[in-house]
Structure 1
Amino acid sequence: MAWSLRALRALALLAGFFLISGAILAVLIGIDVFVAVQVFEGGHAAWFLVKLLGFSLVLTIPIVRGMFALRAGERRGKGEAGLVVTEEEQPALWDDIHDVARLTGTRPPHRVVLTGEVNAAVAERTWLLGLVPGRRRMYIGMPLLVGLTRPRLRAVLAHELGHYSNRDTRLAGLTMRGRDAVLRTIAALSKGAEEGSASQAFMAKVYLAYGKFYMRVSQSVARRQEIAADLAAARAVGRDTTAAALREVPVLHAAFGFYVERYACVGWDAALLPPVGEFYGGFRHILADPGRADELAVLRAELPEEEHSLYDSHPPIAERVRRIEALPADGVPDDPKAEGALTLLRDPVAVLAALEPATLVGGSSSMRRLGWEDLVHSAGRAAHGEAAEPLRRAASADGAAPGLTGILDAIDAGRLWTSLTDRLPRNAEAAKDGDRAARESVRSAVREGLAALVRVELADAGRGRWELSWSDLPRQALTAETAGAMGPALDAAVADLPDTAPLRELLAAEPPASVTRATAPATEPAEAPAAGAVPERD
């Protein structure tokens, strides 16, 4: 009965769109026919009819396109950006999936696809607008396999399959396609309104009003379905395990985003990648490092109270956790030290390696692979070299010899505050605040460029590698003496009366037998930049 009511509601929402569209088209056609009869019987000017037909056509085209978007959506298939794994290849993973499907009272998927996202999903290719079931595909994000225990992964899979145990998602395709049709129509009419069409602006408001109603109803249904799927997971694998999985997934999402930006993609701009299999596999280092334990614990304990909108398809995660934790105890405790979900994979190293070409963008196939230590160092050097480019270009245009020494020679020749700085890009905002602000802005730009060049020179001289740390951001290892002298030497080089002697002395010093990592001043952290980040300050 509940499923029948959901089916009726989904069909009613879609029918409402077609009724509105049909009524508008009928009115337009009726007006056109009436005017045409008057023109031909009364001998009125034909130009009026042509103009009216053009007006009607402007309104009709976006409406008809929106109506046909339903059929277009039904024909489109969902791509599989991931690695397909069969039962023969991964029997343990498939055994757990079959078991979870049995516990939730639904069919297992026909295909399993591993992806690079912190997400899991089940899609079904249905027939007759979602009324007839079809083949199912389950998508499992590799970060979940890396970061979840096996019982918690079962809870995630039980949630996804739990939608189908009550046939909740049977009509999801129908509802989504109807929403797509409404949104397409609104977008087309809004575009015409932006181009000055008052009639399309009025029609856009009509469809927007219905679209808001459609979204509120369909999304409220989706929120109830999410809660029902959570309950199905709790019944299948246990209350505490389900709640723990709900807490852990947003933690993994935040941690994986940080890991990709600061580690996996740290050398992306320099066409560098970590070793094969480590783009996703390296995520385990962040999760297992004791230095990150407190940060992860805080994320697990303090679920964010997200802003709630009537149009959200999912209830806030904090609300979902509270609902599950409020259920009666079922005697099935969660074990945070249970075996990891990655153990479900036969030869996980090979799977991690095979997933990369299936999910990373095409250009990554030609990138150079380096070990983590070499990757961090090379990426740090490349980022600082790129940061120095504006100063390099300005010095070259000013006739300075290549390299840092040539720039220092130009400064000693008195060209810093004359021709050299004139060739640097100007900060428009600083220029508005007067000559003094503009000069300080240029001074800062020269100092940053010099600092980047100095760090590159020290690295090339064996006096400062960028070091990998899973507990902290990578930093350049400098002796305490070098780190302490760098700031004052840079300040002297860009003073109103420049003095490059301290900087030259610092660069000319003999490299020590062993380089120890120096702690940078708290006010100016010296961290190796991630892809696109600003290099270290000195």
Structure 2
Amino acid sequence: MALRAVGLLVAFLLVVVLAVGGFVAAEVVLCVAMSPAALALLVVAPGLATLVTAVCSRADPTPTIRLTPASTRLWELVHAAADDVGVEAPTSVRLDAGVAVRLASRRRLVIGVPLLEAANPAQLSALVRRALGEDVRLRPAIAWGVRFLSRTRDTLAHAPRWNAPARPAVRAFTGYYLRCAERALAAPDAAEVRWEREVIGELWELFLVRYAALGLRAGLLPARPMGGFRQLLDAELPLGDEPRASALLADDETLDHAFAQLLSEEQRAMPRADWDTLADLSQRHEVTRAALEVLGGLTLGAALDRLAAGELAFLAKPGAADVVASVRYRLALVVTAALADAGVVRWRMAWPGPPELVVADPGAEAITTALDEAAALPPEVLPLRLLLVVHGVSPDFRPVRQLSSTR
């Protein structure tokens, strides 16, 4: 299978060379013959030019950080695994954000930080032994082919229309190559690894999408991202008192540094917050944005005046099938934004799940009752007005997008 993957890669490059060479040769012959067909043939030139550009472009390097000698115990684990396999130990160990242990070359071992949090030292040692024991003679070429063909396919997908004929062929060829490469590079997990790596991969994706990106719209990032991943693991895949391989590192900040390699320069410059502060500020940002849309420039008091006058439709979502239910939902957004601004409600991180709403006095039940009455037919707005005034919400309240100070 490895030979087939390499053969496919060589065949693709050969087809590109033959296509470009054939075009140049045909164009030269037609020009010498002063044939009008030379001009017609130039129609395919832009497409070939884009294909060659895609083939020759360089991929961005995979972000990694070098493991320092200070992490003595992890280095000892790697050397012990190399002795067990009977191979020379790698001279460089790097950390990345993948969910794998792999050899980038014969002398460079790459370990994914999610595994350091999820695996115990014995399991990590098994993964390292497996990686060191694999035959790597064709792996670099196959892995390069995966990056190269994927980049070529993506470049053509966003290229102008004249590349349309080449796109299906390149897409189908790349898909077949990736399947061959996956089979060639795959190796079963060692028996000592008692957890499912697919589960860790799914949890890592969930963490990146739901938690790590929680505050991006509000311009915030977590101060200790990998600590959050550890809490998600404890909630979804409890390991009890079993030691984690991350304890072999010199300090936990090494994992956070590796995670930072996933971020753009702009994201790295964002302010940071602890997880509870991040949950509160990010949810306040979202509910404030929604409240601004609902009020449309009105104050909260003016919106309640219109409700008291029986004008429910103005607060409902346009086209809503159930006007009362829509008004109840959208009014709750506005009231939540107002109470959050007054410090009556806040959010805290919940693992797993979305941030949890924490309600101080008067309590969630009183707020719910007041909202139900205000959105009823006919609406009874007075209880909601009193509740808001008692808790320091002015009738002139308008949602304002702003961030509290972060740590």
TM-score by length of 1: 0.60
Structure 1 residue 168, shift from structure 2 partner? 3.9
Structure 1 residue 270, shift from structure 2 partner? 2.4
C-alpha RMSD over aligned residues: 4.1
1-side partners of 2:344 and 2:176: how far apart? 62
3-state secondary structure, aligned to 1:269: coil
3-state secondary structure, aligned to 2:295: helix
Q: Determine which of 30, 40, 46 is the counterpart of 1:55.
A: 40
2-side partners of 1:77 and 1:193: how far apart? 21
Identity of aligned residues (%): 26
1:81 has 2:63 as partner: yes
Counterpart in 2 of 1:386?
289
3-state secondary structure, aligned to 2:318: coil
Q: Is the 8 A contact 2:92 2:107 kept in 1?
A: yes
| Superposed counterparts of 1:480-491, under 5 Å | 482-491=363-372
| Superposed counterparts of 1:110-509, under 5 Å | 110-124=91-105, 136-163=107-134, 165=135, 167-172=137-142, 175-176=145-146, 179=149, 183=153, 191-192=161-162, 194=164, 201=165, 207=169, 212=172, 216=176, 219-220=179-180, 222-227=182-187, 230=188, 234=190, 239=191, 241-242=192-193, 244-245=194-195, 247=196, 249-274=197-222, 276=223, 278-288=224-234, 292=235, 295-296=236-237, 338-348=242-252, 350-355=253-258, 357-395=260-298, 402=299, 404-412=300-308, 414=309, 416-417=311-312, 420-421=314-315, 426-427=318-319, 430=320, 437=321, 440-441=322-323, 443-470=324-351, 473-478=354-359, 482-508=363-389
Q: Is the 8 A contact 2:47 2:163 kept in 1?
A: no
Q: Structure 1, residues 56-82: CA drift from partner, whole Å, max 9, x if none?
A: 233355446646765x36xx3652524
Partner letter of residue 8 of structure 2?
L
Partner letter of residue 286 of structure 1?
L
Structure 1: gaps (5+ residues):
40-48, 125-134, 195-200, 298-334, 396-401, 431-436, 512-538
Q: Is the 8 A contact 1:190 1:204 kept in 2?
A: no
Q: Is the 8 A contact 2:345 2:358 kept in 1?
A: yes
2-side partners of 1:13 and 1:119: how far apart? 25
2-side partners of 1:509 and 1:81: how far apart? 53
Partner letter of residue 229 of structure 2?
F
State which structure, 1 or 2, has the greater radius of gyration over its C-alpha atoms.
1
2-side partners of 1:459 and 1:182: how far apart? 49
Structure 1 residue 190, shift from structure 2 partner? 8.8
Structure 1 residue 226, shift from structure 2 partner? 1.0
Q: Is the 8 A contact 1:466 1:475 kept in 2?
A: yes
Counterpart in 1 of 2:400?
none
2-side partners of 1:220 and 1:480: how far apart? 61
Residues 410 and 82 (structure 1 numbering): CA distance in 2 closer, same or farther, change over 3 Å? farther
1-side partners of 2:209 and 2:175: how far apart? 34
Q: Is the 8 A contact 1:69 1:181 kept in 2?
A: yes
1-side partners of 2:269 and 2:363: how far apart? 37
1-side partners of 2:366 and 2:287: how far apart? 19
- Higher RCO structure (Cα 8 Å, ≥6 apart): 2
Partner letter of residue 151 of structure 1?
A
2-side partners of 1:58 and 1:108: how far apart? 55
Partner letter of residue 226 of structure 1?
A
2-side partners of 1:472 and 1:79: how far apart? 34
Residues 501 and 174 (structure 1 numbering): CA distance in 2 closer, same or farther, change over 3 Å? closer
Q: Is the 8 A contact 1:62 1:188 kept in 2?
A: no
3-state secondary structure, aligned to 1:89: coil
Structure 1 residue 103, shift from structure 2 partner? 3.7
Q: Is the 8 A contact 1:388 1:448 kept in 2?
A: no
3-state secondary structure, aligned to 1:266: coil
Structure 1 residue 344, shift from structure 2 partner? 0.9
3-state secondary structure, aligned to 2:186: helix
Residues 488 and 109 (structure 1 numbering): CA distance in 2 closer, same or farther, change over 3 Å? same
Higher helix share: 1
Partner letter of residue 142 of structure 1?
V
Structure 1 residue 501, shift from structure 2 partner? 1.4
Structure 1 residue 90, shift from structure 2 partner? 2.0
1:16 has 2:1 as partner: no
Structure 1 residue 186, shift from structure 2 partner? 7.0
